[in-house]
């Protein structure tokens, strides 16, 4: 069987026209395009992962308060994983887009902090959201 030249190999992540991220309420189309580009730069991140992380975080913060515990069973439902992704994507964004995204993420982070308790046994080198106990 003849070998295909590299230019003919299928490439899902690095196409000329990447799959855009779904809209995120409160963010303009320009920022969504920048998020799409950041998602492509981050390894193991699928298109739309940022929008999914925001949805996951919002869902986990809704009453009942025990909803935070569900993150332990489902990796896509864990608010800590959502915050990991959101903060890493924000690091890849230009300053204006980062500021607009922070306006959405920071209130959710503050609610997460209010609905959880500090974990005194967690290692200090972890991000603050990993040093929280998910039950209250």
Predicted local distance difference test score (pLDDT) of residue 87: 96
Cα–Cα nearest to 129, from 87, 80, 86, 90: 80
Beta-strand runs (E) in 39-106: none
Predicted local distance difference test score (pLDDT) of residue 120: 93
Cα→Cα distances 134→24, 84, 89, 120, Å: 26, 15, 23, 13
The four Cα atoms 25, 27, 31, 98 give a dihedral, to 10 degrees, of: -110
* 17 backbone φψ class: left, alpha, beta (φ>0; ψ -120 to 50): beta
What is the CB neighbour count within 10 angstroms for residue 11? 9
Predicted local distance difference test score (pLDDT) of residue 43: 87
The segments of the chain whose pLDDT lies below 50 read 70-71, 136
Predicted local distance difference test score (pLDDT) of residue 110: 95
- Reported as half-sphere exposure (CB side, CA atoms, 13 A), residue 15 has a value of 10
Predicted local distance difference test score (pLDDT) of residue 2: 72
The pTM of the full predicted model, rounded to 2 decimals, is 0.78
């Amino acid at each position: 069987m003849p070998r295909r030249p590299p230019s003919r190999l299928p490439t899902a992540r690095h196409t000329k026209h990447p799959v855009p991220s779904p809209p995120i309420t409160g963010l303009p189309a320009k920022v969504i395009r920048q998020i799409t580009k950041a998602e492509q730069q981050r390894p193991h991140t699928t298109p739309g992962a940022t929008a999914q992380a925001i949805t996951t975080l919002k869902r986990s913060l809704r009453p009942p308060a025990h909803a935070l515990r569900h993150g332990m069973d489902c990796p896509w439902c864990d608010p800590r994983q959502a915050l990991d992704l959101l903060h890493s994507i924000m690091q890849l964004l230009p300053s204006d887009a980062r500021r607009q995204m922070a306006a959405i993420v920071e209130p959710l982070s503050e609610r997460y902090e209010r609905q959880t308790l500090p974990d005194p046994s967690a290692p200090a080198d972890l991000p603050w959201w990993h040093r929280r106990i998910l039950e209250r």
